[in-house]
Amino acid sequence: MPEGDTVHLVARTLHRALAGHTLVSSDFRVPALATVDLSGQTVLEALARGKHLLLRTEAGWTLHTHLGMDGRWRVQSAVSKGFGVPAFQVRVILLTDFNRAVGSNLRLVELLRTNQEERRLAHLGPDLLASDFQVGEALRRLRSRPERQVADALLDQRNLAGIGNLFKSEVLFMTGEDPWTPVQQVRDLPGTVDLARRLLQASCRQGGLQSTTGRRSPAEKNWVFQRQGQPCRRCSQLIRVARQGDVPGQERLTWWCPRCQAGPHGPTGRLDLGR
């Protein structure tokens, strides 16, 4: 699933292509919106809230989408012939005189009254990439379940919005924290949140590079993420990976270095090395 920086960059691309322009036509290829027509409405802005995309029109409507695992928005010339994906994957087409925005494989597509946005997204914690990020509220939510494993707590968008599997694993490596440590035992929770925010901001500035090592090469840009079985860049111990999660069936992979992040809380049993 895309990280928050990716979604914010998608919102930026949609805003540049559509904001201030009137929709010539709209095509919703989801049953609930099949008869909806936004043509004639001017797009005010596109923005992100965590991993959610919001596109607002001057008529007071908001198109709310979520990329999920495989979703994508593409901006094309208004006269483009193809969609860039098979037609059966297309969920939304928004056309102006100059550009066409195509949403494909979107996990969620819904239309809201703009004044209903806050109610719809009330479950989300503070957005790490928001200019008014409320660190105190994020920490309060994280600490509301002190026994919860920190990796799970960081991924929970109800605590703070924007962290995905990549930045979860990288932040905990960079702070030297065992991912299975309970929140109440994390040595520097404010510092962990601050580092996550700074990494997401840096990735946005760099066009979604998502480098945590400072290097640009795909083979060198991360410390532990998707590096299972490879030597740690700091200590040469082999990076490990295991499934982690407090909701059965919704576990996510966690990457970590057993030496740099040594702690008493790590997993026992078979590890999913080689995935």
SS (H, E, C) 101-142: EEEECCCEEEEEEHHHHHHHCCCCCCECCCCCCCHHHHHHHH
Examine the residue annotation and report whether 252 is marked as an active-site residue of this protein: yes
What is the spatial distance between Cα 207 and Cα 70, in angstroms, rounded to a whole number? 19
* pLDDT (tens place) for every residue of the chain, 275 residues total: 789 999 999 999 999 999 999 999 999 999 999 999 999 999 999 999 999 999 999 999 999 999 999 999 999 999 999 999 999 999 999 999 999 999 999 999 999 999 999 999 999 999 999 999 999 999 999 999 999 999 999 999 999 999 999 999 999 999 999 999 999 999 999 999 999 999 999 999 999 999 999 999 999 999 999 999 999 999 999 999 999 998 888 899 999 999 999 888 877 644 554 44
Out of 12, 110, 252, 258, the active site residue is 252
Examine the residue annotation and report whether 168 is marked as an active-site residue of this protein: no
Out of 49, 51, 56, 240, the active site residue is 51
Burial call 80-101: b when 16+ CB within 10 Å, e when fewer? eeeeeeeeebbbbbbbbeebbb
Out of 2, 49, 91, 197, the active site residue is 2
| 99-104 and 108-113 beta bridge pairing | unpaired
Q: At residue 97, what are phi and psi to the nearest 5 degrees?
A: -65, -20
Residues near 214 by beta carbon (within 8 Å), at least 6 away in sequence? none
Containing H/E element for 90? strand 90-95
Residue 142: its pLDDT value, please? 98
Residue type, 66: H
Write down the H helix ranges in the chain: 4-18, 117-120, 135-143, 150-155, 165-174, 189-205
pTM value? 0.92
Out of 3, 49, 56, 168, the active site residue is 3
Residue 262: its pLDDT value, please? 86
Domains of the chain are 4-120 (3.20.190.10), 135-256 (1.10.8.50)
Containing H/E element for 47? strand 43-49
What is the spatial distance between Cα 92 and Cα 199, in angstroms, rounded to a whole number? 31
Residue 268: its pLDDT value, please? 61
Residue 266: its pLDDT value, please? 77
Examine the residue annotation and report whether 86 is marked as an active-site residue of this protein: no
Instruction: Give the number of other CB atoms < 10 A from CB of residue 37.
Output: 12
Is 168:180 a contact under the CB 8 Å cutoff? Answer: no
What DSSP character marks residue 20?
T
Residue 270: its pLDDT value, please? 42
Residue 49: its pLDDT value, please? 97
Examine the residue annotation and report whether 2 is marked as an active-site residue of this protein: yes
Residues near 231 by beta carbon (within 8 Å), at least 6 away in sequence? 237, 238, 239
